Chain A
Amino acid sequence: MIPLHTAAWVIASVHLGTLVRSRRAWACAGLLLLPALIAWIVAGSYAKATPSGLTTMLGWNALLQVSVPLVSLLMGVAVVAEEVDDRTITYLFLRPIPRTALLYGRLVTSVLWLAVCAAVAVALLVAAASTADGSDAGITNGVRLPLLLAVQRSRGLHRCVCSTRRVGEERHDRGLGLHLRSRRLLVAAARP
């Protein structure tokens, strides 16, 4: 049997190529970039917009609360379902590889794709917020936001995959705890 890491790596490398050409991946990227786009429009057109206001409203409320969970759900579900729906899973299951290699291979690729998209989204959001009045508040939040976002995204994706595998409530509770902690941190950072 082929070792798990070798098989997962081969699957991940091929899946990355197909992923960047898929509509689902670009739809997810669009969802992540949407708050940043709105931030640019608001920063440019609304004179009273402040960096902290933009990062709180669009960073926390839109990106972390809406885009990230939605994208995690979309990508998490597709980790295995896509192969099943397309009936290409037959080719993979009849090779001498551990079945979990498929899960890990595709998960790594999806996380990588979302990490890149989220990093770009955060960078654009921070840049948009900094143009609002030039104060440091937006930048300060912008340093914390990527860290929180990375934790949030990976937890969200993990929860989504786990729930499809019926892992149970325990991890979900831990993820929720982190979610609440990160919310408190962000709100505190956003305060003047």
Chain B
Amino acid sequence: MSEHLVRATDVARFYGDVVGVCDLSVTIPRGTVGLLGPNGAGKSTFLKLLVGELKPSRGQIEVLGETPFSNPRLHARLGFCPQQDALWEELTALEFVEFLLRLSGFEAATARSKGLQALERVQLADVAHRRLKGFSKGMRQRTRIAQAIAHQPELVVLDEPLTGLDPLARHATLDLFRNLGNEGTSVVFSTHVLHEVEALTKNVVLLHRGRLLAGGEIAGIRTLLDRHPRRYTIQARDPRLLARELVSLDGVETVKFSGSKDTSVLTVETRLPDVLLRELPGIAARTRAGIGSLESRDEGLEAVFDYLMGGAA
């Protein structure tokens, strides 16, 4: 058994002049791994290279110790849930999963029972005999996940698997991935929402503009982020009073004014966001500054990338 799940060495994939991924070298351990990046970061391209749907333009990639492109032996060991909403509309959910199971080598009866089990796991057992063309976006997404896990592969690769799911289904799907991990199945999934990954795994790979930005445990990346101050914008009726109190707080580096005559906006940069958030209600009550809103400018993944890129992106 290969020690690593994925080992990519200087992998690049180009679509004509457009760069999908470029000079990507990364080693991903077995377990659950989140692939993060904004739109156009190269996540889908990287996943397609992993499952062998695409061939690298240059470089080498190994998945479970094998080269993935056009490798049926490896295809039997992995499941893939693509991002595109493509299904055979005239089939029922069960027929769809059963068909793909039969192409994985299962007998008709086994394929049927395994198909039902997979649909049950994604909570679609009650609509297993309904045609896919009548399915909602979330149900279609769960059907695609079902076909990826039905043959119990060693590795499940999912491209944006939580897109289109309502909060309940999203929670259930995260639970499913957690269970798969506990059963010993490795899961690689892509998303652009940081907290979804945090809920599931400690291991992440961050991509940006087709290149590897960071890889490893989230704690390490957080430490990297903590070296940079966090920015908050506060809308207040009387910002001067508020600013006077805020500058004396621990960790606050700068306080800037902006806005119009009626409402002013304070932009506060702090290295200790916990202290700011803990003390702010007390300061607001004491100074009667009339706080209208408080927003963090740094919660999005884009901001994380900005920091990691040294503010250049």
Contacts from A to B (Cβ < 8 Å): 1-2, 7, 10-11, 14, 17-18, 21-22, 86-88, 90-99
Q: Is B102 an interface residue (CB 8 A)?
A: yes
Q: Which residues between 66 and 90 of chain B lie within 8 Å of chain A, taking CB atoms?
A: 70, 72-73, 75-76, 78, 80, 82, 84, 86-88, 90
Contact between A18 and B90, CB atoms less than 8 A apart: yes
Q: How far is the CA of A99 from the CA of B82 in the complex (A)?
A: 19
Partner of B86, one of A10, A21, A87, A96: A87
Report which residue of A18, A91, A92, A99 has the largest number of chain B beta carbons within 10 angstroms of its beta carbon: A91
Is B103 touching A7 in the complex (CB atoms < 8 A)? yes
Closest to A20 in B: B90
Name the one of A18, A86, A94, A99 contacting B53, with C-beta atoms under 8 angstroms: A94
B86 contact set on A, CB distance < 8 A: 86-88, 90-91
Q: Taking the nearest CB of chain A, how far is it from the CB of B269, in angstroms?
A: 46
Q: Are B90 and A94 in contact (CB under 8 A)?
A: no
Counting from the closest, the 4 A-B pairs by CB-CB distance are A96-B72, A87-B86, A96-B76, A95-B103
Q: How far is the CA of A11 from the CA of B99 in the complex (A)?
A: 8
Distance (Å) between the CB of A17 and the closest chain B CB? 7
| Contact (Cβ within 8 A) A97 B72 | yes
Knowing A14-B99, A90-B53, say if A96 contacts B105 (CB, 8 Å).
Answer: yes
Chain B residues contacting A98 (CB-CB under 8 Å) are: 72
Contact with A along B24-66 (1 / 0, CB 8 A): 0000000000000000000000000001110000000000000
Task: Report the count of interface residues on B (CB-CB < 8 A).
Answer: 25
Cβ B91 vs Cβ A14 within 8 A: yes
Report chain A residues within 8 Å CB of B78.
94
Q: Measured between alpha carbons, how far is A18 from B96 in the docked complex, in Å?
A: 11
Partner of B51, one of A14, A21, A87, A94: A94
B75 touches A94 (CB 8 A): yes
Cα distance, A11 to B90, chains bound together (Å)? 14
CA distance A88 to B53 in the complex (A): 12
Contact A1 B103 (CB under 8 A): no
7 contacts between A and B (CB under 8 A): A17-B95, A18-B90, A86-B86, A87-B84, A92-B103, A95-B76, A97-B103
B residues in contact with A10, CB < 8 Å: 99, 102-103
Residues of chain B within 8 A (CB-CB) of A95 are 72, 75-76, 100, 103-104
Whole-angstrom distance between the Cβ of B149 and the nearest chain A Cβ: 14
Does B75 lie within 8 Å of A17, measured CB to CB? no
Please give, as numbers and ranges, the residues of chain B lying within 8 Å of A7 by CB-CB distance: 103
Contacts of B105 in A (CB 8 A): 2, 96
CB-nearest residue of chain B relative to A91?
B100
- Interface status of B173 (Cβ within 8 A of chain A): no
Residues of A within 8 A of B102 (CB): 10
User: Do residues A90 and B82 form an inter-chain contact, with CB atoms below 8 A?
Assistant: yes
Give Cα distance in the complex from A38 to B69, angstroms: 53
B267 within 8 A of A: no
Q: How far is the CA of A96 from the CA of B106 in the complex (A)?
A: 11
B147 contacts chain A at the CB level, 8 A cutoff: yes
CA gap between A92 and B86 in the complex, in Å: 12
What does the 1/0 interface line of B131-172 toward A look like (CB < 8 Å)? 000000000000000010000000000000000000000000
Nearest B residue (CB) for A1 = B72
- With both beta carbons as reference points, the residue of chain B lying nearest to A97 in the complex is identified as B103
Give A90 Cβ to nearest chain B Cβ, in Å.
5
Q: Which residue of B is nearest A86, CB measured?
A: B86
Given contacts A14-B99, A18-B90, A95-B103, contact A90 B80 (CB under 8 A): yes
Restricting to B84-124, which residues have a CB under 8 Å from any CB of A? Answer: 84, 86-88, 90-91, 95, 99-100, 102-105
Residues in B neighbouring A2, C-beta threshold 8 A: 103-105
Q: Are A88 and B103 touching (Cβ within 8 A)?
A: no
Query: Whole-angstrom distance from the CB of B90 to the nearest CB of chain A?
Result: 5
* Chain B residues whose CB sits within 8 angstroms of the CB of A92 once the complex forms: 103
Whether B91 and A18, one on each chain, are in contact in the complex, defined by CB atoms closer than 8 angstroms, is yes
Which residue from chain A places its CB closest to the CB of B76 in the assembled complex?
A96
Which chain A positions have C-beta within 8 A of B147?
91
Inter-chain CA distance A2–B84, complex, in Å, is: 26
CA distance A11 to B100 in the complex (A): 9
The answer to whether A96 touches B75, judged by C-beta atoms less than 8 angstroms apart, is: yes
Query: Which residue of B has the minimal Cβ distance to A90?
Result: B82
Expressed in whole angstroms, the Cα–Cα distance for A94 and B81 within the complex equals: 10
Chain B hits for A91, CB < 8 A: 82, 86, 100, 147
Contact call B88/A88, Cβ cutoff below 8 A: yes
Q: B87 is contacted by which of A1, A11, A21, A88 (Cβ under 8 Å)?
A: A88
Beyond known contacts A95-B103, A99-B70: 16 more, CB 8 A cutoff: A2-B104, A7-B103, A10-B99, A14-B99, A87-B84, A88-B86, A88-B88, A90-B86, A91-B82, A91-B100, A94-B53, A94-B75, A94-B80, A96-B103, A96-B104, A96-B105
